[in-house]
Structure 1
């Protein structure tokens, strides 16, 4: 009887062991596919599991109850959340001068120009006003404000009068590049600049000649002495035409007065 009892007890123990192994395998399979799972899952004891940094209590009723972390675990979680986000190296722009990646740049933030703050040069990266950009580089408003991509600018108070409108400041390097896009080459820009300068000189010369003619007319009319007795009536001789000046002339035959006029 004792031998049968011993054999039965041994068989029961083996069955219990097999059932326990099946239960462990089933439990592990449920944990891996559990909908709450957002990280590494492992069991701390028979009733507690840990998913990522969060602990859950197996209530045995078909759901998990989240356990509040202790003080030390809570401090560790806060430190992880407060830690700065790591900068991914390949996402950082490279400086066009030193060819190194940079995290912050005043030129990049304001003008999207890839240059780090260490390589920023006051002369090379000079800012110019909109008026200077148009006059020096022969650009129009549409070239700066409408042609794609629209040039970036910053606004600054006018130093000459605070009541005037804010000035628009552009990055000179970007304005030079835009001028080349509009005109095609530096040679064409210089040709156009020379042509415009010649037109300005010619306009000033014509204005000066016109003013000089007016002075001559005044001098000629003042040569006649109006203090003499009796009104003088001019007796003009034949008209003469000056093709170069496009003017007509006639002289009084009895006095030095000479009249210059144009015919419409």
Structure 2
């Protein structure tokens, strides 16, 4: 056992070796004195048990390795007043994360620190790791606020000033890669997401077409009303025939049986 201790001590710095030797000599002197007052002690030497020795107000523990360890009173006021500082352990070589793009280990990364994305600083400029606004994330991937902020785990983002108007609120920028993965999680698969986007685009086209046709019908009716001779209309009462339904324009047409007047209208 002593050979192993001596062998391990060979790798220690010189000042640690000297400290160990001084402690060892001090312990040997205490054992030889057999509780006789130690010349370097400021108080009486008292043996509490086989492994603990008290010199004055200080307690020492015999480690059995050739030196004494000073015991600290955890209940003392001086120790209890010391602030507790918890430092984050450094990333040692085996724990360094690997970049998911180039598969090289890295020590620091802006994307890893900001978005918890395993990507080194050399690869963060790729198109895969671009940032998009919250509005783009909701529109391009059919997501809602709860999908971004409430669903666990909430997506990380950074805030930046709006470049279009400084008076507007700050923009929230998300990592598009994480937004895409969240959309697949919400919709089930990328194929279902694309189908839903196509359906919504079709609805938009149909809605725009209906709005255009309605405006066109209103324009035609206004033109016909302006072309009608109101002077002759005062002395003439129209006698309309049967109504004809136009399925294509979703409107009705009726003609006067006594004059060429024709009227097109819609029913609510």
TM-score (normalised: structure 1): 0.66
Q: Give the structure 2 partner of residue 101 of structure 1.
A: 105
CA distance in 1, matches of 2:216, 2:122: 59
> 5+ residue gaps in structure 2?
1-16, 29-39, 46-54, 59-88
The alignment status of 1:181 with 2:160, answered yes or no, reads no
SS at match of 1:259: strand
Is the contact between residue 242 and residue 254 of structure 2 (CA under 8 Å) also seen in structure 1? yes
2:44 maps to 61
- What aligned pairs does 1:169-248 form with structure 2 within 5 A after superposition? 169-226=173-230, 228=231, 231-242=234-245, 244=247, 245-248=249-252
Please tell me whether the aligned partners of residues 129 and 170 of structure 1 are also in contact (alpha carbons under 8 angstroms).
yes
Alignment of 1:131-170 (within 5 A): 131-170=135-174
Q: 1:103 to 1:45 in 2, by over 3 A?
A: closer
Q: Distance in 2 between matches of 1:217 and 1:240?
A: 16
* Whole-angstrom CA distance in 2 between matches of 1:155 and 1:237: 67
1:249 matched to 2:228? The reply is no
Larger Rg, first or second structure (1 or 2): 1
Gaps of 5+ in 1: 1-38, 50-56, 67-84
Q: Distance in 2 between matches of 1:232 and 1:186?
A: 69
Cα distance change, pair 230–145 in 1 and its aligned pair in 2 (3 A): closer
Distance apart, 1:229 and its partner CA: 6.8
| Two-structure CA RMSD over aligned residues (Å) | 2.9
1:234 and 1:255 in contact (8 A); partners too? no
Mapped to 1, the partners of 2:169 and 2:144 lie a distance apart of 19
| Residues 190-227 of structure 1: per-residue CA shift (max 9 Å, x gap) | 1111111110000000001100110111121122123x
Q: Partner of 1:75 in structure 2? A: none
Which deviates more from structure 2 when the two are superposed, residues 238-247 or residues 197-206? 238-247
Deviates more, 1:250-259 or 1:182-191: 250-259
Distance 1:232 1:195 in 2: 54
Inter-partner Cα distance in structure 2 for 1:141 and 1:104: 31
**Cα pair 1:58 1:65 within 8 Å, conserved:** no
